[in-house]
Amino acid sequence: MERSEREYDVIVWGATGFTGRLVAEYLLDRYGVGGELRWAMAGRNASKLEAVRAEIGREAGRAADALALITADADDPASLEALVARTRVVCTTVGPYAKYGSGLVAACVQLGTDYCDLTGELQWMRRMIDAHEAEATRSGARIVHTCGFDSIPSDLGTWFVQREMRARHGVPARHVKLRVRGSKGGASGGTIASMLNMLDEAERDPSIRRVLADPYALNPEGRRSGPDRNEGLAPEKDDDFDVWTGMFVMAGINTRVVRRSNALLDDLYGADFRYDEAILTGAGPLGFLKAAGLGLGTGGVMALMSLGPIRRALSRLLPQPGEGPSKAQREAGYFDIELHAEHPGDHGKSLRARVTGDRDPGYGSTAKMLSESAVCLALDPARTGGGFWTPASAMGDALLDRLVANAGLTFTIES
Ligand SMILES: NC(=O)c1ccc[n+]([C@@H]2O[C@H](COP(=O)([O-])OP(=O)(O)OC[C@H]3O[C@@H](n4cnc5c(N)ncnc54)[C@H](OP(=O)(O)O)[C@@H]3O)[C@@H](O)[C@H]2O)c1
Parallel, antiparallel, or unpaired for β 236-238 and 114-117? Answer: unpaired
Residue 323 Cα: closest atom of ligand 1: 19
State whether the beta carbon of 96 lies less than 6 angstroms from ligand 1: yes
State whether the beta carbon of 172 lies less than 6 angstroms from ligand 1: no
State whether the beta carbon of 100 lies less than 6 angstroms from ligand 1: yes
SS3 185: coil
State whether the beta carbon of 74 lies less than 6 angstroms from ligand 1: yes
**Interval between CA 24 and ligand 1 midpoint (Å):** 13
Q: Residue 54: what pLDDT?
A: 97
With beta carbons less than 8 A apart as the criterion, state whether 164 and 157 touch: no
Annotate 131-172 with DSSP letters as a single string: HHHHHHHHHT-EEE---BTTBHHHHHHHHHHHHHHHHHHSS-
With beta carbons less than 8 A apart as the criterion, state whether 147 and 396 touch: no
For residues 13 and 3, give the distance between their C-alpha atoms in angstroms, rounded to a whole number: 18
SS3 23: helix
State whether the beta carbon of 254 lies less than 6 angstroms from ligand 1: no
For residues 255 and 343, give the distance between their C-alpha atoms in angstroms, rounded to a whole number: 20
With beta carbons less than 8 A apart as the criterion, state whether 189 and 294 touch: no
State whether the beta carbon of 362 lies less than 6 angstroms from ligand 1: yes
**Interval between CA 4 and ligand 1 midpoint (Å):** 28
Q: Which of 153-157, 289-293, 301-305 has the lowest mean pLDDT?
A: 301-305
Phi and psi (nearest 5°) for 163? -60, -45
**Interval between CA 197 and ligand 1 midpoint (Å):** 13
For residues 145 and 128, give the distance between their C-alpha atoms in angstroms, rounded to a whole number: 10
With beta carbons less than 8 A apart as the criterion, state whether 78 and 106 touch: no
User: Tens digit of pLDDT for each residue in 34-80?
Assistant: 999 999 999 999 999 999 999 999 999 988 999 999 999 999 999 99
User: Tens digit of pLDDT for each residue in 244-259?
Assistant: 999 999 999 999 999 9
**Interval between CA 224 and ligand 1 midpoint (Å):** 31
State whether the beta carbon of 197 lies less than 6 angstroms from ligand 1: no
Percent of the chain with pLDDT over 70: 100
**Interval between CA 17 and ligand 1 midpoint (Å):** 5
State whether the beta carbon of 103 lies less than 6 angstroms from ligand 1: no
User: Tens digit of pLDDT for each residue in 118-151?
Assistant: 999 999 999 999 999 999 999 999 999 999 999 9
**Interval between CA 298 and ligand 1 midpoint (Å):** 24
State whether the beta carbon of 36 lies less than 6 angstroms from ligand 1: no
Question: What count of other Cβ atoms lies within 10 Å of the Cβ of residue 372?
Answer: 28
Q: Which mutation among 94, 149, 320, 371 tests ligand 1's pocket best, with the greatest number of atoms within 8 A of CB?
A: 94
pLDDT bin (cut points 50, 70, 90) of residue 306 is: confident
Taken in order 340, 341, 342, 343, the sign of the CA dihedral is: negative
State whether the beta carbon of 185 lies less than 6 angstroms from ligand 1: no
Could you report how far apart the first and last alpha carbons of the chain are, in Å? 50
- Residue nearest atom 11 in ligand 1 by C-alpha distance: 95
Q: Residue 302: what pLDDT?
A: 85
- Residue nearest atom 26 in ligand 1 by C-alpha distance: 94
